[in-house]
Structure formats: structure tokens, C-alpha cells
Amino acid sequence: MSIRLEIADLKKVYSGNTSKTEIDVFEGMSFSVQQGQIFSIVGPSGCGKSTLLRLIAGLEEKTSGEILLDGKSLTGCDPQVGMVFQEYALFPWRKLVENIEVALEIKGVAVTVRRAMAMQYVRDFGLEGFENAFPKVLSGGMKQRAAIARTLIANPQVVLMDEPFGSLDSQTRNLMQEFLLKIWGERKDTILFVTHNVDEAVYIGDRVAVLSPRPTGILKIFDVGLDRPRNRTGKEHNRIRSDILQLLNASAVVRPPS
């Protein structure tokens, strides 16, 4: 399987008023993601998981290093990279189908063509009957399905997902995990999936990268290697989950009281 996305010696520093207020987020992070793979990312709060996705998406500038897609450097916001946010980011003044088709509208796709494509996503994503509804009347799961559809309709080469199910209740979250895996099974998108939930990372991911506290590096990448569909309570699933939790706990920085 070929490498689709490669991160090479990535560094990110946020500068303050003086050198003493600089914040080193990444100090030479490197990893690769294979084509068609779901690559889960977990780590302590504040370690830069969302920042990593924003750098890949071109929403922030890296300090140094390389971000390569199919061997070519990514610069700025590239249409080959799509991003799904935790907060859905749907336009409240647009109907559901209009939200889904917005990427095609930006590309200049004719209205009849983009509407037909968006309606196909409405059907495929189980949103029929709500295509003319505004986001305020949709459930959390429906909003996130619409947000995922809006990203996938543009057919990106890499899909970045930043804690997409974090605001959902546990039952809806499990249903959305199954929904994502169903869609992924049909399309085989290359996905980077950031989550705080270790069980979710193992259940969804082909590999799980465990990040350290800042300045952030990769402590270990776990190859999950479990057949799908997976058993959340299975012995091997729980062993990998336990190993990741132990690694996260061992790396936690205990700060003295101020």
C-alpha cells in the first residue's frame, strides 16, 4: 500500500513578545499515512492535535518541516485535503442540501449538477426528508452527517477529522462511528481522525498514534491489526486500549502547584 500523506520533521512554534514566551508545539514530528488508511491520533489536552490537522489543512503555517501529499509538498489550503470539524460549522442560513453542496458551488459547478450530487449524498447519508431543513432543527448526529457529506462531496484525497463525534452522546457517538466505517468501507478514503477517546481511536483506526505532552512528539504508533467489524469488548481490543492508556498515563507531566 502506497504512502499518501507524509509528515517530515514538522515544527511549529507560536511566538510571543519575547523569546521566553515562545511555545514549542512540535519539535520535529514525522510519520506517514498509507492510502485508504484510517490513522487515529490521541494525546493529552493541549498537545497540539487540532493544530496538527490545521497545519495539514493549510489553516495555519508551519515553522519548518514538510507536509507531503503523494510526494508533493502541500502549501496553503489545498482542495485535495478536506476537514470535518467538531462543531459541524454548518451555515445556519442555508438549508441542509445547500450546506452539502457548498464546496461544489465554490468550484463553480452548475446548480443543477451540484444539487443532484448533493441530493445523492442526502439519500446515501440517511437524511431524506430533511434536505430543506435548516441546521437549527437537526439533531447532532444529522448535523455531523451533513458536515461529513459536505467534505466528501468534494472528493478530497485526504480527510481530516477533528474530534468529530466529541459533542455527541454516547449512543449517537457509537452510531456515528458505525456510519463512518460504513462510508469508509465503500470509499476507502485516507482519514486522519483526532479523538480524546482511546476506545474510539482503537475501534476506528487501522493505526493509532499516541502523542506526548508539549513539545509534542510521537510516543508510539500502534498497529491495530483487528478484522472488521470489531468487537469493542474483545480481548485484543481491550489489550491495545489498555496499552495506549498506560502509555498516556506514564507520559503525563505532573506540574508542581503554583
CA 29 – CA 63 distance, rounded (Å):
12
β-pairing verdict for 64-69 and 72-73: antiparallel
pLDDT band of residue 27 (cuts 50, 70, 90) is confident
SS3 label, residue 27 = strand
pLDDT in tens, 98-145: 999 999 999 999 999 999 999 999 999 999 999 999 999 999 999 999
Compute φ and ψ for 8, nearest 5 degrees: -125, 115
Do 10 and 105 reside in the same domain of the chain?
Answer: no
In the chain, how many domains are there? 2
Task: Provide the grid cell at 3.
Answer: 504512502
Is 174 found in the same domain as 123? no
Cross-strand bridge partners of residue 23: 14
Same domain, 150 and 163: no
Give the pLDDT band (50/70/90) at residue 255.
Answer: very low
Q: Whole-angstrom Cα distance, residue 178 to residue 104?
A: 27
For 28-85, how does the pLDDT look when each residue is reduced to its tens digit (9 = 90+)? 899 999 999 999 999 998 899 999 999 999 999 999 999 999 999 988 888 899 999 8
Cell of 176: 456515528
Please check whether residue 6 is in contact with residue 32, taking contact to mean a CB–CB distance below 8 angstroms: yes
Rounded CA Rg of the chain:
19
Residues 76 and 174 in one domain: yes
The angle formed by the CA atoms of residues 148, 152 and 158, to the nearest 5 degrees, is: 105
- The predicted pLDDT at position 19 comes to 59
Answer whether 0.85 is exceeded by the pTM: yes
Domain final position from 138, 155, 172: 155
Residue found under cell 462531496: 153
Q: In what order do the strands lie in the sheet with 64-69?
A: 23-34, 3-14, 64-69, 72-73
Number of H helices, E strands in the chain: 8, 10
Alpha helices in the chain (DSSP H): 49-57, 96-100, 102-107, 111-124, 140-152, 170-187, 198-204, 235-251
CATH number for the domain harbouring residue 61:
3.40.50.300
Where is the domain boundary, 134, 155, 176?
A: 155
The domain containing residue 127 runs over which residues?
Answer: 89-155
Q: Do 246 and 170 belong to one domain?
A: yes
pLDDT band at 257 (very low <50, low <70, confident <90, very high): very low
Are 164 and 48 in the same domain? yes
Average pLDDT value over all residues in the chain: 91
Same domain, 63 and 190: yes
CA 117 – CA 238 distance, rounded (Å) = 40
